[in-house]
Chain A
Amino acid sequence: MEALPASSPEWHSEDCFMGIDEAGRGPVLGPMVYGCAYCPISQMEALSERSFADSKTLKEEKRDSLFQEIAEDLFIGTAVDVLDARTISAQMLHSQRESLNVLANNATFRLIEDVLALGVKLREVYVDTVGEASRHEARLADRFPGIKFFVCPKADSLYPIVSAASIVAKVTRDRLIRDFVIAEKVEASRQTGSGYPGDPDTKLWLQQHLDPIFGFPSIVRFSWSTAATILETSAVPVQWECDEELGGSQGQQVLAFGNKPTRADTSSGVGRHAFFRAHKLQRVANF
């Protein structure tokens, strides 16, 4: 969350509307940022006279100056929800895998909850979506009864409030990428390219920051196929229990201390008590 004023402006109790948009869904590097902008419905007319447009169509300088404008506007509030690359990787590679859409949904829910918690009287929320609009709209309406949702693709170019949200999201992400710090104690170059998997500079950065054992620094989304492919071809193979269950062998790995273990030595060996099988305990008689 951005720093918020200590006392809420009076207009929070007026009927308000809000736009939500995301930045950084596709890149293999860095966070995915959900941003929102909200203001009183009475300001809707005034807002449409401003030059807010889809952040992707704006030059960086213009985007930064609009961001400043939004931040200083007394009748516009903003908030962001940042999903860092490490969280995205961890959730998508968890044994109970979450899809990016579920993560995106949860981020949208959190953002709305955060704004409601500030006492903002939300009546209408406009959401840009890449997925199926009607299902997303139904989920939101179900979760937040009393708010009218308008979910559609390209909302960032249709509604100025969503354009404002897209500027908030995009500028926040750009600054996080610009000032990125990695948790790992290794040198990292700032020449990351755009962060999109197709960018040759990004591909080069990934190759240059690959450790054969640990893979990449945690600014990389390990769950992206670009990262996974590099790991598969250029890093030491790593096998996980939960991946093996998808189609690998279920059997116990048998320790061999030089001499080949006999059938009776394995935990499920002939004549052995179920205790050993349950605890995967193997007998080692010869070293």
Chain B
Amino acid sequence: MEEPRTLHWLPCAIKFTGAAKVGAYFLPTPTGTSVDGKAVQEAYFRGRQLKGTQLQIPQGYKGQILQRTAEQHADGDGTPQWSRDMAFSEFVYWKHGLDPICTDSAQRRMAFLKVSEQLHAPIDPEEIQQELENPTFGKTS
């Protein structure tokens, strides 16, 4: 069995696809501090200090890495094909030199899943009727 792999999301684009000596060079250590209730880790990449925190994929969802196994031809023929690689339920979100905070767009992005649930939730006609008679939208309680 392979060692369990950790997924790292770095604040840079590495123009390379393939195996890398992650275990020898990328060495996250806990800083002992926490931000927004999440423990902050520190690592160095290419001389830069990175600060990261573990983010969970929300309940009911799954992270999945896809690998392209077939390309679409330049003339538009054929269908691109994908195979499933690693599935994940958490990943480490890294920032360059700054603490990861909950208002970062990367973290706020996860909020879309909640918004999406609301948008796609079935509408109860009674609720609409109630809202029309006694509007609560836009009011703070």
Contact = CB atoms under 8 A, between A and B. Distances in A.
Interface in B5-20: 11-16, 20
Given A258-B68, A287-B82, 16 more contacts: A89-B48, A90-B44, A90-B97, A93-B46, A93-B47, A95-B97, A185-B27, A186-B24, A213-B14, A222-B48, A236-B16, A238-B46, A241-B11, A241-B96, A258-B79, A259-B72
A94 B97 contact: yes
A278 B25 CA distance: 34
Interface residues of A, number: 41
Contact of B46 (A184, A215, A279): A215
A51 interface: no
Interface stretch (B33-41, B52-60, B107-115, B127-135): B107-115
Nearest to B109: A279
B122 interface: no
B139 interface: no
A113 B93 CA distance: 37
Nearest to B78: A258
**Residue among B20, B44, B109, B111 having the largest count of chain A Cβ atoms under 10 Å:** B44
Interface of A: 86, 89-90, 93-96, 183-186, 211-216, 218, 220-223, 227, 231, 236-242, 253, 257-259, 275, 278-281, 287
Contacts of B98: 95
A221 B68 CA distance: 38
A241 B12 CA distance: 6
B44 A281 contact: no
B96 A211 contact: no
Contacts of A211: 21, 25
Contacts of B20: 213-214
A222 B80 contact: no
Contact of B47 (A184, A215, A280): A215
Given A212-B16, A238-B13, A257-B80, A90 B21 contact: no
Contact of A237 (B11, B15, B71): B15
B31 interface: no
B45 A90 contact: no
A202 B48 CA distance: 22
Nearest to A92: B47
Contact of B26 (A214, A237, A281): A214
A96 B97 contact: yes
Nearest to B116: A281
3 tightest CB-CB pairs across the interface, nearest first?
A222-B47, A258-B80, A89-B47
A102 B82 CA distance: 51
A281 B112 contact: yes
Given A94-B97, A95-B97, A86 B44 contact: yes
B46 A95 contact: no
Contacts of B46: 93, 214-215, 222, 231, 238
Nearest to B14: A238
Contacts of B16: 212-213, 236
Contacts of A241: 11-12, 96
B47 A90 contact: yes
Contact of B80 (A213, A214, A259, A278): A259
Contacts of A257: 80, 82
Contact of A240 (B12, B27, B44, B105): B12
A273 B68 CA distance: 30
A218 B105 contact: no
Nearest to B80: A258
A214 B43 CA distance: 12
B104 to A, nearest CB: 10
**Residue among B13, B82, B112 having the largest count of chain A Cβ atoms under 10 Å:** B13
A184 B24 contact: yes
23 contacts: A86-B44, A90-B44, A90-B47, A94-B48, A94-B97, A95-B98, A213-B25, A214-B21, A214-B25, A214-B26, A214-B46, A215-B47, A216-B47, A236-B14, A236-B16, A238-B46, A240-B11, A242-B96, A253-B13, A257-B80, A258-B68, A279-B109, A287-B80
